[in-house]
């Protein structure tokens, strides 16, 4: 069997802490634990948010030209110095995570050198044009054409959920798509991390019903829907309280709109796990997710989940079992679904237990082991001349 040596190309690995970077760092950690050589290529900044796994070859990039989102970067090309390091690494498989300048350069290199290649889909790029239409709408059609071409170039495209595969097909984006789900550390995210003293210290009474939102605080996560739904319910039930975990460009305005909420700011590790477990209900109206890592973390923490009936999230919530699905961007429906859980303590308990049980099925090692089997399938097919 040919040795598996993976070169990973990504538009985000350590400069921003989000679902993409955490997923890819977890993958690299897993590969190295299995003694599978891996070399990562991607952008970085002076003070990156993540102490990354493995070796990162930093490639040229520019800030995303959208006001307020300059922390995101776009790689421009695959430079000769990086190509030299790739050649020295001698990969047997190229994994491209982003169809940007670096990714396109890596695709050309793989074709030229006859190296098997795979790709993965992490960010639902097309949906972002709805939130930043002033800046991105001119690019929607050409980028969609690029995506239709790009994903056809690979024998495997790894997608987080079946609902995301269906959405891509609706957009006319084809390819041999396989599910590469996301995993969760069920020891860290655990109902046992519930801390009543911490709840009291931030102003919650023991009988308050705490509804939490966990995410980067940007409007495309439908933060406004969360705020309006909670405020509507608070008019009839003053025991409903808001806990907002995260930071971002929308934080200052969100605090003005929801002054009675407790905003933790950015949280990670045990502080993040404690915040989840110390809440009573998780609400996440975002409909731009490819998977919804925060929903999985909330499930592992034993919370009922009220999420948008949309790609990503609906793959994690079984309506009426561990939470409810609400119509996307519909404040009235989110309020109705939230009220069902708020008003019924037994339902909250039952749904929270179901969430925890369902989360136990998402173990990172088994998920990434499945990805490696897919890698090996591509290598074997390439060896036989099938790809």
How confident is the model at residue 352, as a pLDDT?
98
Residue 296 has pLDDT above 80, yes or no: yes
Compute the half-sphere exposure of residue 23: CA atoms within 13 Å on the CB side of its CA: 28
| Residue 288 pLDDT level (bands cut at 50, 70, 90) | confident
Domains of the chain, first to last: 6-183+363-383 (3.40.50.2000), 191-359 (3.40.50.2000)
pTM as predicted: 0.80
pLDDT in tens, 204-217: 999 999 999 999 89
How confident is the model at residue 86, as a pLDDT?
98
How high does pLDDT run on average in the chain? Answer: 92
Do 299 and 359 form a contact (C-beta atoms < 8 A)? yes
Interval 114-127 mean pLDDT: 85
């Amino acid at each position: 069997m040919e040795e598996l040596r993976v070169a990973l190309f990504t538009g985000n690995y350590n400069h921003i802490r989000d679902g993409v970077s955490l997923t890819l760092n977890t993958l690299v950690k897993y590969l190295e634990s299995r003694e599978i050589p891996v070399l990562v290529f991607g952008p970085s900044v002076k003070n990156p948010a993540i102490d990354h796994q493995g070796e990162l070859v930093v490639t040229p990039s520019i800030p995303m030209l959208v006001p307020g989102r300059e922390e995101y970067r776009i790689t421009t090309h695959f430079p000769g110095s990086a190509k030299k390091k790739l050649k020295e690494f001698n990969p047997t498989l190229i994994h491209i995570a982003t169809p940007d300048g670096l990714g396109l350069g890596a695709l050309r290199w793989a074709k030229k050198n006859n190296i098997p290649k795979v790709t993965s889909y992490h960010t639902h790029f097309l949906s972002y044009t709805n939130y930043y239409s002033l800046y991105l709408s001119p690019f929607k059609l050409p980028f969609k054409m690029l995506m239709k071409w790009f994903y056809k170039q690979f024998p495997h495209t790894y997608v987080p959920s079946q609902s995301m595969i269906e959405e891509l097909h609706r957009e006319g984006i084809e390819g041999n798509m396989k599910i590469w789900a996301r995993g969760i550390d069920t020891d860290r995210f655990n109902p046992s991390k519930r801390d009543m003293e911490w709840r009291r210290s931030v102003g919650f009474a023991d009988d308050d019903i705490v509804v939490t939102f966990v995410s980067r605080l940007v409007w495309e996560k439908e933060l406004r829907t969360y705020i309006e739904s909670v405020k509507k319910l608070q008019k009839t039930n003053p025991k409903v309280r808001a806990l907002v975990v995260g930071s971002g460009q929308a934080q200052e305005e969100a605090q003005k709109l929801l002054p009675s909420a407790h905003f933790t700011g950015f949280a990670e590790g045990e502080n993040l796990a404690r915040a989840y477990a110390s809440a009573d209900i998780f609400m996440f109206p975002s409909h731009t997710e490819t998977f919804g890592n925060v929903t999985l973390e909330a499930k592992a923490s034993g919370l009922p989940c009220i999420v948008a009936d949309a790609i990503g999230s609906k793959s994690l919530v079984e309506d009426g079992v561990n939470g409810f699905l609400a119509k996307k961007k519909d404040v009235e429906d989110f309020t109705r679904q939230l009220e069902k859980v708020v008003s019924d303590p037994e339902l909250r308990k039952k749904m929270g237990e179901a969430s925890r049980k369902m989360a136990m099925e998402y173990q990172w090692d088994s998920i990434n082991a499945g990805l490696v089997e897919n890698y090996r399938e591509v290598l074997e097919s390439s060896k036989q001349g099938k790809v």
